[in-house]
């Protein structure tokens, strides 16, 4: 495995991924950890090509917006059989904020951590 820190690739419908990258940058100042990929205008092959460009043969964790649909099916197909890649679904800002400061991990370890960090952020607000 490469020693380079993990890259995060956010895969979403419309401009969700781009907005999340901007939010992480605004909060943390980190601007080299995340790449946005939208499925806008893509069939499955075109989305795969966007994923190839975004990961650039580097170890990466793919953060997908929904637990089904074209973003997920393309991401899983792309990551299948490649230990340099892992996939999590239900991306949220909390898991991304945690990720950008914990990138020295394997994709599988980072995926597990992301689901924990993202899950902890989902709460009923006490009013």
Partner 1 sequence: MSIGLYRLDDRLIHGQVVVGWGQPLSCRFIVLVDDEVRASDWEQDLYRMGVPESVEVLFASVDEAAAQLPAWESDARVGIVLVGDIDTASRLASQSALRNLNIGGVHHRPGRIERLRYVYLSPDEAAKLRALAASGVQVSAQDVPTARPVPLTEFT
Residue 70 engages partner 1 in binding (rule: CB under 8 A): yes
Give the span between the Cα atoms of 1 and 7, in whole angstroms.
Answer: 13
The answer to whether 22 contacts partner 1 (rule: CB under 8 A) is no
Asked whether position 57 contacts partner 1 by CB under 8 A, the answer is no
81 in contact with partner 1 (CB under 8 A): no
To the nearest whole angstrom, how small is the minimum distance from the Cβ of residue 42 to partner 1?
6
> Which residues contact residue 50 at a Cβ distance below 8 angstroms, ignoring those fewer than 6 apart?
37, 38, 42
Is there binding between residue 66 and partner 1 (CB under 8 A)?
A: yes
Nearest distance from residue 54's CB to partner 1, in Å? 18
Two tokens, residue 12: 């979403």
Under a CB-based contact definition with an 8 Å cutoff, are residues 75 and 11 in contact?
Answer: yes
Our finding on whether 28 is near partner 1 (CB under 8 A) is no
| 13 phi-psi bin (left φ>0, alpha ψ -120 to 50, beta other) | beta
Which of these, 5, 6, 11, 4, lies nearest to 76 by C-alpha position? 11
Residue 77 contacts partner 1 per CB under 8 A: yes
Give the footprint of partner 1 on this chain (CB under 8 A): 13, 39, 41-46, 66-70, 72-73, 76-77, 80
């Amino acid at each position: 495995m490469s020693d380079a820190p993990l890259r995060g690739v956010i895969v979403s419908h419309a401009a969700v991924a781009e907005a999340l990258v901007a939010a992480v940058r605004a909060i943390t100042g980190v601007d080299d950890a995340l790449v946005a990929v939208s499925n806008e205008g893509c069939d499955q092959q075109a989305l795969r090509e966007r994923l190839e460009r975004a990961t650039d043969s580097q170890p990466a964790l793919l953060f997908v917006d929904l637990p089904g649909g074209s973003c997920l099916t393309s991401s899983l197909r792309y990551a299948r059989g490649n230990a340099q890649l892992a996939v999590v679904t239900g991306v949220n800002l909390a898991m991304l904020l945690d990720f950008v400061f914990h990138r020295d991990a394997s994709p599988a370890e980072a995926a597990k951590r992301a689901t924990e960090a993202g899950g902890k952020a989902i709460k009923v607000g006490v009013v």
